Chain A
Amino acid sequence: MENASEEHEFLDSEIRCSYAWSTGEIVGGFLEALRDRGVILGAECGGCGSVFVPPQSYCEQCGGAMKDWREVGPRGVVLSWARVPEQFEGAPLEAPFRYVLVRLAGADTSMLHVTPDDERVKTGVTVVPEFKERRTGAITDIRWFVPEEQ
């Protein structure tokens, strides 16, 4: 059969859908502590004692449930990093910036976050968080982590 003319080659469409995710006790408690107290909370597994940061309700390693909050950091060590050279829709900062996985003091997992595009941000470097003045209860209440000044 004959091809359609070029103007009928595509049909444009868009889906928009808003969500309100239930945060529950663990995620909600973590976000509330960021917003109200400017502290980072981990959750300790009742089964194996691992401290999850950011916290989750379950331990995938041993299957245990969380038993206690643990305040962690604020200092942490960069376990890996990646540099974003160009701006994209949905970026938390103006590019360039870096993604980092930070192992906060007292934590057994590392947390994904961002840093400025600072040459010093490399694996093994100690970083500290900078909190925003106006906080809303989101992971981005931490503006970013920056290298600790000696």
Chain B
Amino acid sequence: MEEVAVVGWAQTRHERSKTGQTCQKMLYDLVNTALQSCSMTIRDIDTVIDAGSDFLDGRGLSNALNLDAMGAHSKVESKVAGDGLEAAIYAFMKVASGMFSSALVVAYGKSSESSIRRQTRAGAEPFYARPLGIDAVAAGALQENAYLHHYGIDTSAPARVAVKNRAAGTANPYAQLRSEVTLAEVLGSPELVSPIRRLEACPVTDGACAVVLADGPMSRSLGVHPAWIRGIGHSQDAYSLGSRELHKAVSAKLAARRAYDMASITDPHSELDVIEVSEFYAYQELMLYEALGLCAEGDGALLLDAGATAHDGQTPVNPSGGALCANPLVATGLVRLAESAAQVSNRGGNVQIDGARRALAHSGGGFAMQSAACVILER
């Protein structure tokens, strides 16, 4: 298997509504910026893998219209109907196989152009779920209550995740929400679907991310610090909420275990320097601490309150501010990879964790974290 590294990346300024620009122009500019970041041109790219949502785009096979804009014309291309981090995993495999020397991964979403809550309702199974109007927020609320109740955790614990991540987001120039919030403001914000409060939910975001992968020889020839991909993992739980152990992020645990095995990581808390997770709702970050093996099951809030996941903690989680500061579906997980690559190559700017050598990026998908992907990067 060939060595593969993340060598270049770009993300948009994430915004509530990126008006004045078609989705295609957003992608065109983004891809050019990503290629420039590693001194490549589109001619150096062997294959393109993209992640977009037909629902958000309002077209079937919506990639077809966007391929020319992202530079895929006449190249080998494929689409992932999931988060861009899953597209990055396919890209890794394509390059690792030796069939391609380089790959461009693009993920994007302009959630402002339709109604995101209606979109997630339309994603529900049609017989037993959709007639009840369930959406992503309501499914998350059911999971949060299951989690809090199972372990006897106070409802203020997720609010403290929101305070941490919003404070972190103030240093991130790409974040949509770049203002701090107090615990009282989070606890006093309106309930969307209880127990999820407005300030504990990700914002609605327009944005995109592009990442360039290359094999060992090409990575070493570009004059950049490659972020080597050392581990990948993916998994998904049962579709039906009622068939799962809802108080556990089972798919994230399996995805992380696969990535850790591949990267020979046995103690993630001490061996990972920084983690970026896709916490669409604040409680999910606590569950993910447990699933990623940073602490025992049910101890996520204790880990948070000990400061272990703060910017100056032993394993900082979401120094970028995470999905609570910008959620450009379906690029949110790929943004985690770009942030992780920036960290391990010491290009993290204001959000840089000093001396970060090894990072984990996580993506989630489906209602209540049904699916998960993890990628481990190393300097």
Contact = CB atoms under 8 A, between A and B. Distances in A.
A138 B191 CA distance: 29
A92 B131 contact: yes
A80 to B, nearest CB: 4
Contacts of B316: none
Dominant SS among interface residues on chain A = loop
B246 A99 contact: no
Interface string A36-64: 00000000000000001110100011000
Interface in A71-118: 79-85, 88-92, 99, 101, 103, 109-114
B357 to A, nearest CB: 39
A81 B142 contact: yes
Contact of B191 (A3, A85, A90): A85
Given A82-B194, A101-B142, A112-B132, A52 B243 contact: yes
B242 A111 contact: yes
B133 A82 contact: no
A36 B20 CA distance: 55
Nearest to A140: B131
Nearest to B237: A60
Interface string B117-149: 110010000111101111000100111111001
A65 interface: no
A89 B128 CA distance: 18
B243 A109 contact: yes
Contact of B19 (A9, A60, A114): A9
A15 B128 contact: no
Given A9-B20, A101-B246, A139 B193 contact: no
Q: Which of B20, B142, B191 has the most CB of A within 10 A?
A: B142
Contacts of A54: 127-128
B127 A139 contact: yes
A17 B326 CA distance: 31
A10 to B, nearest CB: 8
Contact of A80 (B126, B149, B193): B149
Contact of B146 (A27, A79, A109): A79
B149 A99 contact: no
Contact of A112 (B191, B196, B242): B242
Contact of B193 (A21, A83, A140): A83
Given A23-B127, A54-B128, A92-B132, A84 B138 contact: yes
Contacts of A99: 132, 134, 138, 141-142, 193
A114 B132 contact: yes
A66 interface: no
Contacts of A88: 117, 133
Contacts of B238: 60-61
B207 interface: no
A127 interface: no
Nearest to A26: B127
B126 A21 contact: yes
A26 to B, nearest CB: 10
B241 interface: yes
A140 B58 CA distance: 29
Contacts of A9: 19-20
B195 interface: yes
B240 interface: yes
A52 B244 CA distance: 12
A112 B128 contact: yes
B133 A91 contact: yes
Contact of B195 (A10, A53, A82): A82
B258 to A, nearest CB: 19
Contacts of B127: 21, 23, 27, 31, 54, 139
Contact of B242 (A23, A89, A101): A101
A84 B246 CA distance: 19
Contacts of A60: 238-239, 243
A80 B131 CA distance: 19
Contacts of A31: 127
B242 A109 contact: yes
Contact of A83 (B146, B194, B241, B246): B194
Interface of A: 3, 9-10, 13, 15, 19, 21, 23, 27, 31, 52-54, 56, 60-61, 79-85, 88-92, 99, 101, 103, 109-114, 123, 138-140
5 contacts: A54-B127, A56-B240, A99-B134, A110-B242, A123-B146
Given A79-B242, A79-B246, A123-B149, 18 more contacts: A9-B20, A52-B243, A54-B127, A80-B142, A82-B142, A82-B194, A84-B193, A89-B118, A90-B133, A92-B132, A99-B132, A109-B243, A110-B242, A111-B242, A112-B134, A113-B132, A139-B127, A140-B132
**What are the 4 tightest A-B residue pairs by CB atom distance, in nearest-first order?**
A82-B141, A110-B242, A83-B194, A80-B146
